[in-house]
């Protein structure tokens, strides 16, 4: 690697660098921030918010090009997942998902005491991939009560093929949740398959405003589903679950789609460049991703990585891959200078013997 290309960015161990939560690192531009300020000053906070979030539902329906009756909004996507687990409380059968996948799926399975069956995402010379036939076989073998598929997958960043998702929806004897939290970075949505066709009664597409839209602090998630299923979920949804300020703020930000798309374009460019730079380091490997994070394997053991990152106040997410001994990191994509700071740290350690070369490794 050309050391001069990154050495001009000084390390700062006192300034935290958060590359662990897949957040959008860019702040909102001045125009929506001013609109938000005005709303905060004028909002009738002595009144309860509008219970169905009707205006926000209409905005979201316009964004995804569907009917408002197919939209449900949650206090984060987590709340919608909770409602889905609650709706299935009297049904038997396990939860079928991937491994690794979004950690909330296992968390909710434990809360609701549901057995969880997983089909592993495999790693070979071509990167991460899913054995689609093995997953289809698992549907018949386990007869699940719910199928949870994140697309792009968190943490590997792979996108599941549309043909595979269609087969799962057609063959599943249960609800199929396709979690598209990072879809704006991928550009391919399962919603597109059914825009001109009848919406499958067992399909739920989960979305969020936390990632590409940069509204993680507002905790707003939404889902697109059959209108009857939306009605069923509405019947068990907590009243006034979306506060008035979040409803108003989301409506404002949704009007700045060009800003969102430009930031997504920037993050995709930084992501792809980061992958190239990591792969120039001896012993390191970064894998292709269709999200705003990248899976990376380190030549050092986890203890060394944790010590190094802690000393520099850099936060990433360590990932356990079944059957693998390598140290895996999921690194969120931040601003260009943030990624260069991370790269500088690794580059400065490049003369240290890799974990594979150490005695007894």
Domains and CATH numbers, the chain: 3-27+258-357 (3.90.1150.10), 30-255 (3.40.640.10)
- CA-based nearest residue to 288, from 149, 194, 137, 185: 185
224-242: burial string, b at 16+ Cβ within 10 Å, e else: bbbbebbeebeeebeeebb
Closest by Cα among 274, 268, 313 to 295: 274
* Residue 239: per-residue pLDDT: 93
State pLDDT tens for residues 282-311: 999 999 999 999 999 999 999 999 999 999
- The pLDDT of residue 350: 63
Q: In this structure, what DSSP letter does residue 191 have? A: G
Q: How many whole angstroms separate alpha carbon 44 and alpha carbon 233?
A: 28
Per-residue model confidence (pLDDT) at position 358: 37
Q: Indicate if the alpha-carbon torsion angle 304, 306, 307, 313 is positive or negative.
A: positive
- Ranges of the chain with pLDDT below 70: 1-14, 350-361
What local confidence, expressed as pLDDT, does residue 89 receive? 87
Residue for token digits 């999921």?
A: 330
What DSSP string runs through 242-260?
S-HHHHHHHHHHHT-HHHH
Encoded tokens for 133 = 């036939």
Q: Please, which residues have CB within 8 angstroms of residue 212's CB and are 6 or more apart in sequence?
A: 24, 182, 184, 185, 260, 263, 264, 292
Task: Please tell me whether residue 133 adopts helix, strand or coil conformation.
Answer: helix
Gap between the Cα atoms of 35 and 72, Å rounded? 25
pLDDT digit string, tens, across residues 349-359: 865 444 344 34
């Amino acid at each position: 690697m050309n050391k001069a290309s990154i050495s001009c960015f000084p390390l700062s161990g006192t300034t935290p660098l958060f590359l662990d939560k897949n957040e959008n690192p860019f702040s909102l531009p001045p125009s929506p921030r001013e609109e938000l300020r005005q709303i905060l000053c004028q909002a009738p906070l002595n009144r309860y918010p509008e219970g169905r979030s009707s205006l926000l539902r209409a905005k979201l329906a316009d964004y995804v090009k569907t009917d408002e009756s197919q939209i449900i909004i949650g206090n984060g996507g987590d709340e919608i997942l909770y409602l889905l687990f609650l709706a299935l409380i009297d049904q038997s059968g396990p939860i079928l998902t991937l491994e690794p996948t979004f950690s909330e799926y296992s968390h909710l399975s434990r809360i609701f005491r549901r057995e969880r069956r997983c089909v592993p995402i495999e790693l070979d010379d071509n990167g991460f991939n899913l054995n689609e036939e093995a997953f289809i076989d698992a549907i018949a073998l386990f007869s699940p009560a719910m199928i949870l598929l994140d697309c792009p997958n968190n943490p590997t960043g792979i996108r599941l093929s549309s043909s595979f998702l269609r087969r799962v929806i057609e063959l599943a004897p249960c609800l199929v949740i396709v979690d598209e939290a990072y879809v704006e970075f991928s550009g391919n949505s399962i919603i597109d398959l059914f825009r001109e066709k009848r919406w499958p009664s067992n399909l739920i597409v989960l979305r969020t405003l936390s990632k590409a839209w940069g509204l993680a602090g507002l905790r707003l998630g939404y889902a697109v589903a059959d209108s009857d299923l939306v009605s069923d979920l509405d019947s068990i949804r907590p009243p006034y679950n979306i506060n008035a300020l979040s409803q108003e703020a989301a409506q404002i930000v949704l009007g700045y789609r060009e800003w969102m798309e430009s930031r997504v374009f920037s993050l995709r460019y930084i992501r792809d460049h980061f992958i190239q730079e990591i792969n120039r380091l001896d012993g390191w490997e970064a894998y292709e991703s269709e999200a705003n994070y990248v899976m990376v394997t380190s030549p050092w053991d986890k203890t060394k990585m944790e010590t190094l990152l802690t000393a520099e106040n850099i936060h990433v997410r360590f990932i356990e891959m079944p059957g693998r001994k390598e140290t895996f990191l999921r690194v969120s994509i931040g601003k260009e200078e943030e990624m260069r700071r991370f790269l500088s740290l690794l580059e400065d350690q490049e003369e240290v013997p890799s974990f594979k070369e150490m005695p007894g490794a």
